[in-house]
Structures are given as structure tokens and as C-alpha cells.
Amino acid sequence: MTTTPGKSNAVLDRETDARFWAQTHYRVGKRLNSADPTDRAMMRVWLDIFAKVQREDRAGKLVLTYNHPAVEQHLSDAELAMQTAAAHLDAAVKERDPVRAQQHAEAAAVATTTASSATHAAAALQPATVSPVVVAAAAQEAAHAAAVPPPASVVDQLPAEHPAVSSIAAQPIVPPAFATAPAGSLPSMRQPAQQLAVAQAVSAPGVAVAVHEAAQARADQGVPAPTGTLPAQTIAQLRDIAIAVADEATGDIVGVVATQDPTRFAGVEGAPTGWSWLVFPSLRDAADWYGELTETPETFFYVAYYDKTSHTWPQPVNEVFGTGRAIDITAKPARPSRSHTSGAVVAVVAALAVAGIAAFASSGREPA
């Protein structure tokens, strides 16, 4: 699930989540909760990353990493390791035998190190996006809210030429700010998960700095910058094809799916195989279909649904890129009569193919 709801922002939300988790190590796999003071402090970091991902998308340079198999695996490993750390920490607190308590504490430390290694590995496959100065302000706020000692001023002590200070990627879009926690009860620090969250937030500035140091080291070694799972041009063209398909469908609420590799063309007159659509009686039905389908991202390449009566048309109500394997699509809502593919949509698709997707396919590259 994504961290924040938003019309047409599912792709950007998911990409932001992946970069936020990998580049801060904070509560990997968990949604941020505005009622939690530590989460609330870290939301500014998430929003800054989101603004940068959105800027990439608007510039036609979006780098998708959330659906990269290695990124998914690393983040999953990190989430599992942190759950293990929390369990050991809880056991250490409850254990009366000091020797066993120490063993649990050591096991928690090992699990935390495992999680850190996994998130570093995920971050290496992403553009460095996190702004250390924003993270530093968030860490100060989190420490204040939890009534724990503030973190060391890691960012302030860096020289001006350090990549975490000077690189364009490190510059924030959302201004850093330290907001005093509102009056109220402090979060319960008895819960291991909360203790770990505060520790992660306080240590996040060092993580953010390390992300930029590692990115600079890779660049110095001539390692190519992360390109994501699909070229940005292909992302734009897939969206255009989906809009053309939805436009041709008879009905106002339309769901569109690419269930086969849309960079390979085997259809008639240049049309890609594997595209299908459904017309729904309501947005709720479309949302249910979309939600069920997106639970299995390995079964599609792209899915979106549209409301052609909305002022936002042709922007999708929601969209997401999957990891892509061909399947037969079924849906719970009764399938209304499906419109036939007309010459107009074939012409649009064929034109888009000539514009770039077919060239990408002919290069022999496989999507990551």
C-alpha cells in the first residue's frame, strides 16, 4: 500500500515509498501515520522525495525502481529483519535471565545490521533522491517529540563540496523545518517497534549522507546511473496507449490493462498484443477491480482506470506499473458489452509504436 492517497498518483506514491524506505531506512514497508509524532516528523522527508519524483515524471525522466525485482527483494528482506529485531528487543525486555536478555539484544543488533545492508543495496539501484538537510531537521523533531537526546549534527559538519551538500540531488524541494511537537502525551517507548522507529529517525541523517556518498563513489568509478525498469519514453508511450484504448471503449468508467510485454509487437497493423479493457458501472466497481488486480503486480505490465466524465480526463483516476507476466484477466463486475477496436485506436497505437516503443523492442532489451 502507498503512504499517501492521491488521484492519479499511485505510481509516484509507490516510487516515493521505495526511495524513502531505501534512503532513510525508516519503517520499511510501513505507512506513515500522521497521529504518530515520529512518523509525522518524517513525513516532510517523504514529501520532499515525492516532489522530486513528481518533477522527474513531469520532465519525462521518471526512473521506476519500486517494481524492480531486486529492490522489492531488498526492501522485503529489510522489513523482515526489522520485525525480527523488534521481536528480539521485546524478548530482551521481558526476559528475566540477564544472559538470555543479552543474547536477545545481540540478536536484535544483528537483525538491524541485516536490515541496514538490505536497504543500502536497494538504494544503490535508485537515483539518490533524499535530502540530508531535510532528514536532519526531521530527526531533530523526532528526537524532541520522543524526549530523547538529539542526533549529532552530521550534515552541518560536512564540507561544502561534499556530495550530500553540493550535489543537485541533495537539494531539497520541500524546505527543511523544525516544528515543535504539539502538546500531548509522548508516544509509548515501551513498545519495541516505537523504540526502533525513533532510533531509525535519529540515525536517518547519517543514512541519507551515506546514500549520496555511495552515489558519488559509483559515479567516480564509472558505474552507469540507475535507469529503472522502463525507459522514461516507454513509460509515457504506455500511458498514451492506455488513454487511446480507454477513449475508444464504450462507457465512461474504463479500466485498461497491458497483460503482456507491451514492448513486443505481434499484433495486426502494429498494434501491441495483450491490451484489454473493461467498462464499469461505477468508480467503486473500477476501484475494487483495480485494487484486486494490483495485489498481484507480477501478472501485468500496466493497469489504470479512467473516469471520462471527470474534468481530469484523460488523466487516470489511478495507475500502476507491474512486473509483467501474461495472464487471462477476469473481473468480478459483470462485463458489459465491449467495444470493438476501431481503425482509429489502431492508428494511434501504430503511430506510438513508430515513435519509439517498437524501436525499443527491436533493440533486444528486456525490461528489468
The string of pLDDT tens digits covering residues 51-107 is: 999 999 888 888 999 988 899 999 999 999 999 988 888 888 888 888 888 888 888
328 and 289, same structural domain?
yes
pLDDT tier at 127, thresholds 50, 70, 90: very high
**CB-CB contact of 211 with 163 (8 Å):** no
pLDDT tier at 344, thresholds 50, 70, 90: very low
> What pLDDT does residue 190 have?
55
End position of a domain, from candidates 220, 243, 264:
220
177 and 29, same structural domain?
yes
Highest mean pLDDT pick, 42-56, 195-209, 284-298: 42-56
Is residue 5 in a domain?
A: no
- Chain segment 234-259, per-residue pLDDT in tens: 788 888 888 988 998 889 999 999 87
202 and 142, same structural domain?
yes
Is residue 367 in a domain?
A: no
171 and 53, same structural domain?
yes
246 and 132, same structural domain?
no
Is residue 15 in a domain?
A: yes
208 and 112, same structural domain?
yes
Cα–Cα distance between 282 and 200 in angstroms, integer? 43
Backbone angles phi, psi at 149, to 5 degrees: -55, 140
Mean pLDDT of 197-212: 91
> What pLDDT does residue 158 have?
87
Residue 3 in this model has a pLDDT that exceeds 50: no
Amino acid at position 3, single letter: T
Residue 321 in this model has a pLDDT that exceeds 50: yes
Q: Beginning with the edge strand found earlier in the chain, give each strand of the sheet holding 275-280 in spatial order.
A: 275-280, 253-258, 302-307, 318-321
211 and 313, same structural domain?
no
Mean pLDDT of the chain: 78
Least confident of 32-46, 84-98, 321-335, 347-361: 347-361
> What pLDDT does residue 49 have?
95
Is residue 176 in a domain?
A: yes
Residue 155 in this model has a pLDDT that exceeds 60: yes
Percent of the chain with pLDDT over 90: 37
Residue 294 in this model has a pLDDT that exceeds 90: no
> What pLDDT does residue 260 have?
65
168 and 192, same structural domain?
yes
Residue 334 in this model has a pLDDT that exceeds 90: no
185 and 98, same structural domain?
yes
201 and 87, same structural domain?
yes
306 and 352, same structural domain?
yes
Its domain, for residue 325, covers: 232-362
- Chain segment 163-188, per-residue pLDDT in tens: 888 888 889 888 776 544 444 444 44
How many structural domains compose the chain? Answer: 2
End position of a domain, from candidates 220, 253, 287:
220
